[in-house]
Amino acid sequence: MCGIVGYIGNKQAQPILLGCLEKLEYRGYDSCGVAIAGKDIEVYKDAIRVKMLGEVSPKLNGTTGIGHTRWATHGVPSQINAHPHLDCSGNIAVVHNGVINNCQELKARLIREGHTFTSETDTEVIPHLIEKYYHGNLEEATAAALDDIDGSYAIIVLAKDRAELVVARKDSPLILGLGDRENYIASDVPAILDHTDRVVYLEDGDLAVITRNEIKIKQNGSDVRRDEQKVSWNVEEAQKAGYEHFMLKEIHEQPKVIRNTLAEYTRATEHPVDLLGARDTGTDSMLLLACGTSYHAAMIGKYIIRELLKIPPRIEIASEFNYYSDVLSRAVAIAITQSGETADTLKAMKKLKEAGCRVLAVTNVVGSTASRIANETIYTRAGPEMSVAATKSFTAQLMALYWLGITQSRIDARKLASLLTELRQLPGKVQQILDDEAIIAKQARNLSRFENVFFIGRGINYPVALEGALKLKEISYIHAEGYASGELKHGPFALLGESSPVIAIVSKDNTHDAMLTNIKEVKARRSPVIALAEEGDEAIEEVADAVISLPRVESLFSPVVNTVALQLLAYYTAKERGCPIDFPRNLAKSVTVE
């Protein structure tokens, strides 16, 4: 969940590294630092944001360097714990993303051998191990050090008097950016888009030596070739484009994302996987798994698949599934991950592949690890999402699930045509919500006064309640919980009252009357109620304190319009409270550690 960058070329490395790190702050931002190889290795780091580091750091001269922006796993954010880390001699510097499981064992052994440690991090063992094995060949020393390590890593190694960088990856993403007599290294594509759109994705077990003119990659000691790929994103997509925050920009991009995603799928000539074939192999023959916001998309996908394909899929949180032993070898598994690098999801995908399952990945990143593990991949085409809070990527995931369900369903042809028409109208419906965002912002001003908020929904909008609560808590720091509406009576009622508002998500489907009853029950406990409902729903207006009216849609697609409204509600609530919206405390965009 940290961001690492490297540069080797003919230009001054420090400004390039700082610019790349700013693009990676969504991966971690509690501290940062750079190391530049000149006459000596010079390091400047601190527990501050990248922009401030650039303002206060001295000029470090050199055309080869590495940088890091941190999301703490071992040791509190501090100058000492910030990367890069050095060996005892100060001649070897390392930046690292991942977790070293046996760091205490290695550290104790190295201390007995005379090494001195200064930080609380697991990463610091890496430069000390490389120093131990270094006899003039940095590649060999790095390989020997990694043989001692149990854990996950993406590392860049810089050594004094060496016109090269050595990199390696295992269970953490790492890409190489190719330039003209210069090369770049980064955790993710947005870091290097200002400089190149030519990339090579390293695979697990790869170790590479990078010079300004050449890249040599090895796997298990043997030379391998990794294909060069061209990035489809552009620099403008990874910038704010006049919006105050990336999150607001990405919320507003959703009509375009829906159109682009549907256009991509419409051009496809084959289904990526036969979901209908799963119907004949047992009720547990289809599995949906994901983490975080992607898990909420998977929950909605369960309703979509059950409704359109008449298959009752099993759904699992990937981090929990990894500790189960009951994996069906004939299952079709759909793994959903925005980054394609979510550690728990990747671990589950590998487990499923080993068991003989057919694995389909739904991801936003071409060339990501998930796409390489999966038998087939559906790309969501949301473009780069820079805000930590997922918005447009969630909507794009829903589009992928709707398309899978609709195109492989066996429902009546007339009904199918109606659903396809409604699906193509969604961009316009979402735009209507965005055009009326001032109404939602007004409700957010009121909501921002509270410290506890409940979200309730039924049926396909129960996961939307969970997602709405997640968005509010992660960017506004308000304690928020999502519930299936019928569950309020089983405990949460004890917390209702004037200081606990309830956001009710109401759809014009078979849950409508039950939702009305639930709202009345909430009102009887004196909790203020803000309802999301279709325009013209007079019954809701009679019972709720405030109503956010949304365009009418087929109930199957109601999660899309409801989610967009809740994203705006969370955004404006956080803005009212003065929160750092794009970079909420303690969180990072890509969760690459278990």
377-398: burial string, b at 16+ Cβ within 10 Å, e else? bbbbbbbbbbbbbbbbbbbbbb
Q: What is the pLDDT of residues 111-148, one digit of tens each?
A: 999 999 999 888 999 999 999 999 999 999 999 999 99
Q: Are residues 160 and 48 in the same domain?
A: yes
Sort 507 into a burial class: Cβ within 10 Å, 0-12 / 13-18 / 19+.
Answer: buried
Q: Could you confirm whether 20 is annotated as catalytic?
A: no
Give me the amino acid identity at 147.
D
Residue 7 lies inside a defined structural domain of this protein? yes
Structural domain ending residue among the three candidates 391, 426, 461: 426
Residues of the chain with pLDDT under 70: 1, 26-28, 233-238, 268-284, 325-329, 588-594
Q: Are residues 405 and 444 in the same domain?
A: no
Q: Are residues 399 and 263 in the same domain?
A: yes
Looking at residue 241, what is its pLDDT? Answer: 76
165-196: burial string, b at 16+ Cβ within 10 Å, e else? bbbbbbbbbbbbbbbeebbbbbbbbbbbbebb
86-116: burial string, b at 16+ Cβ within 10 Å, e else? bbbeebbbbbbbbbbeebeebbebbeeeebe
Alpha helices in 64-173 (DSSP H): 103-112, 125-133, 138-147
| CB of 22 closer than 8 Å to CB of 50 | yes
Residue 49 phi, psi (nearest 5): -75, 160
**Nearest-angstrom CA–CA distance, 238 and 216:** 30
Domain count, the chain: 3
| CB of 286 closer than 8 Å to CB of 427 | no
Strand partners, 166: 157, 209
DSSP run (H or E) holding 258:
helix 254-267
Q: Are residues 499 and 527 in the same domain?
A: yes
Active-site option among 2, 103, 291, 579: 2
Q: What is the pLDDT of residues 172-201, one digit of tens each?
A: 889 999 999 999 999 888 889 889 999 999
Looking at residue 282, what is its pLDDT? Answer: 47
Q: Are residues 372 and 314 in the same domain?
A: yes
Residue 590 lies inside a defined structural domain of this protein? no
Domain containing residue 11: CATH number: 3.60.20.10
Q: Are residues 554 and 481 in the same domain?
A: yes
| Residue whose pair of structure tokens reads 């999502």 in the numeric block | 482
Claim: this prediction has a pTM higher than 0.85: no
Residue 589 lies inside a defined structural domain of this protein? no
Residue 355 lies inside a defined structural domain of this protein? yes
Structural domain ending residue among the three candidates 374, 397, 426: 426
Looking at residue 260, what is its pLDDT? Answer: 87
Reduced to 3 states (helix: H, G, I; strand: E, B; else coil), residue 321 is helix
Q: Are residues 333 and 465 in the same domain?
A: no
Q: Are residues 222 and 302 in the same domain?
A: no
Q: Could you confirm whether 2 is annotated as catalytic?
A: yes
**Nearest-angstrom CA–CA distance, 51 and 58:** 13
Q: Are residues 390 and 458 in the same domain?
A: no
Looking at residue 283, what is its pLDDT? Answer: 39
Looking at residue 262, what is its pLDDT? Answer: 86
Q: Is the dihedral of CA 366, 370, 374, 380 positive or negative?
A: negative
Q: Are residues 225 and 297 in the same domain?
A: no
Structural domain ending residue among the three candidates 185, 206, 231: 231
Looking at residue 63, what is its pLDDT? Answer: 95
Domain containing residue 269: CATH number: 3.40.50.10490
Q: Are residues 268 and 416 in the same domain?
A: yes
Residue 130 lies inside a defined structural domain of this protein? yes
Active-site option among 132, 170, 392, 589: 589
Looking at residue 234, what is its pLDDT? Answer: 63
| CB of 588 closer than 8 Å to CB of 169 | no
* Cβ neighbours of 137 (radius 10 Å): 13
**Residue in 399, 396, 511, 404 with CA at minimum distance from that of residue 465:** 511
Q: Are residues 327 and 397 in the same domain?
A: yes
Range of the domain at 314: 239-426
